[in-house]
Structure 1
Amino acid sequence: MTPFFAAQLTASDWITAGATALVTLLLAIMIRRITKRRIRKKDKHAELTDFGGRLLISLVLSAGAYYTLEALHVELGPALGAFGIGALFIAVGLQPLLVNIVGSVVLQARRPFRRGDQILSNSFEGTVLDITSTSTVLLSYDGESIHIPNAQVLSQPLVNWTHEPVRRTILPITVPYGCELAMVLAMVGRATRNALNDENLPPAEALATGFGAHGIEISLRFWHYSDRLESQVALSQVVVAVNDALNEAGVVIPYNQLVVHPAEIADPAEPLEPD
């Protein structure tokens, strides 16, 4: 069997190998720090910078390992042969992991979202913290850290709530039959516009959409800023304003009514008639 070490090692060989390994580690640390510094500056290509930095670190570590082994006079032929056979079995076992790594590359290239975006993916919703080599990390609105495999992020529909600065919400409202519908529509739309009171947003509109089981159905459409908190605050303001306007006009929102008819129950004291 051919030995991995081709010659007797000397102190100089060990010193050279150690120095090579140390320089490699220091260079990798320096690259990582430079990458983080660029990301902190809010570079618009932060995701690609991070991915490129990690790829460069991997190449540096691989080159450092090669030259370290060469300094130790390791026969790389037998070592690479054994490594190749082992890598084949490892690749089969780590196929899901490799798929996620490829998914990370695709996400970095396509960039359907960035750090800080608020997204909905695989029924999970939150703010994007990071895109690692294997998963996309979200911070939920309840403060929970969520890790979604990159392969699942790519294979399932994705909603980016903050891709555009504003988005629209539709609030369904039901008003009773017999009300002055034109007046109610104008009043609801006016109350919504006054509640939001922002010239940068498209105007709100109220449209009658159909006849429901308990009243006329209205679709109140209003725009707000895309941030989750902004959307919730806007919805609350609109609900309060519309409720106050309807109460002031004497319009009562109909609700489901359950009518119970008591069944006739025979008196147990009365004898049963024979068949």
Structure 2
Amino acid sequence: MDEQMNGSWEKLMTKLEGWLDTLITNTPNIILAIAVFTLSYFLSRLFEKSFRKYLKRFIKQTSIRNLAANILSIITLSLGLFLALAILNLDEVLKTILASAGVAGLAIGLALQGTLTNTFSGISLALNEVVHVGDWIDSNGFSGEVLEINLRSIKVKEGDNNIVVIPNKLVLQSPFKNYGLNSRIRTDISCGVHYDSDLEEVRDIAIATIKEIFPPNPLEDIEFYYQEFADSSINFKMRFWINGKKAIDILKAKSEAIIALKKAFDKNDIEIPFPIRTLISQPNEVEKE
């Protein structure tokens, strides 16, 4: 029994001495590996901060900038780790890590397929700069102001103050209207005047009125078209340009145009008629006996 214990003790001491010799022999490599990994850590933080600041010039969405900066930081730190393992001659460990990362990445990709689709859709929206926070958009049957754009969805505040969360892939895959891409919007208004009106005078007064409150730019025109002989009036439509980036701007412009046209027509004795319906009754015939 004592001999067996002594033999085991000797084997243990021999093993520890071997490890100690290996540690002493590889001390320079260990120090160098630690230094490389530490340097890669600080470089990753530096690259992350600098890259996020650089992307601020091109990408307005904070979540997209953070994602790109974090990816660069992880890549830098991973390269430092792999280089440190190579310095320590741990090639087998390195191969095992790479193989495990590949399998894990495949499994995670399959499990998060929908989330990754929304993420890449969000990145695409950010890079193409077709939607920004504060824009008024119509998408997937919803209309409202964009409050937030993140890696999964877009938050839209509708006119009734309700919040709608739309997945990024639905926004990217479906046609949508963004009022915020242009600072000028063309809208229209319809009206009717009495049959006794001077149509040329009506046209000139209407154009002058709209031009005064909504001055057109040099390449823009105020359009005026008579459309039909209606039951009680001759109807016309006007198309003009306004400054605006939201749907509410169109409603405000139409309201101002209606008020201004009504005042101008009243001032010039131009009548906007009520709908008139004439009823003709036939007297009952009295049968003669």
TM-score by length of 2: 0.63
State how far apart, in whole Å, the 2-side matches of 1:39 and 1:144 are: 32
Deviations along 1:96-136, one digit per CA (max 9) or x if unpaired, are 22222222333234333445443322233344455433333
Distance 1:83 1:96 in 2: 21
Q: Displacement, 1:169?
A: 0.3
Deviation readout 1:35-88 (Å, 9 max, x if unpaired): 665677xx3x23499746522312322553675697798935445545544443
* Corresponding residue for residue 254 of structure 1: 274
Residue 202 of structure 2 corresponds to 184
Q: Name the SS for the 2:180 alignment partner.
A: coil
- How much has 1:148 moved relative to structure 2? 2.4
Number of the residue aligned with 2:180? 162
Matched length: 246
Q: Over aligned residue pairs, what C-alpha RMSD do you find? A: 4.4
State the shift of 1:241 in Å: 0.4
Contact 1:135–1:149 under 8 Å retained in 2: yes
Partner of 2:70: 57
Instruction: Flag structure 2 segments of 5+ consecutive residues without an equivalent.
Output: 1-18, 282-289
Equivalent residue for 1:222?
A: 240
- Once the two structures are TM-superposed, the CA of residue 208 in structure 1 deviates from its matched residue by 0.5
Q: Please state how far the C-alpha of 1:145 moved relative to its aligned partner.
A: 5.0
Match for residue 204 of structure 1? 222
| Higher helix proportion | 2
Q: Which residue of 1 aligns with 2:258?
A: 239
User: SS where residue 174 of structure 1 aligns?
Assistant: strand
Q: Does the alignment pair 1:194 with 2:212?
A: yes
CA 1:214 to 1:37, structure 2 compared with 1: closer, same or farther past 3 Å? farther
In the alignment, structure 1 segments of 5+ residues that lack a partner are: 1-6, 262-275
- Alignment partner of 2:181: what SS? coil
Task: Give 1:111's aligned residue.
Answer: 129
Kept in 1, the 8 Å contact 2:134–2:147? The answer is: yes
Match of 2:122, as an amino acid? S
After superposition, the C-alpha distances for 1:204-263 in whole angstroms (9 at most, x for unaligned) are: 23211223455332111111113326544432221110122233424134348698x9xx
* Counterparts of 1:177 and 1:31, CA distance in 2: 74
- The one-letter amino acid paired with 1:239 is I
User: Is contact 2:47–2:72 with CA below 8 Å preserved after alignment?
Assistant: no
**Identical counterparts, % of pairs:** 21
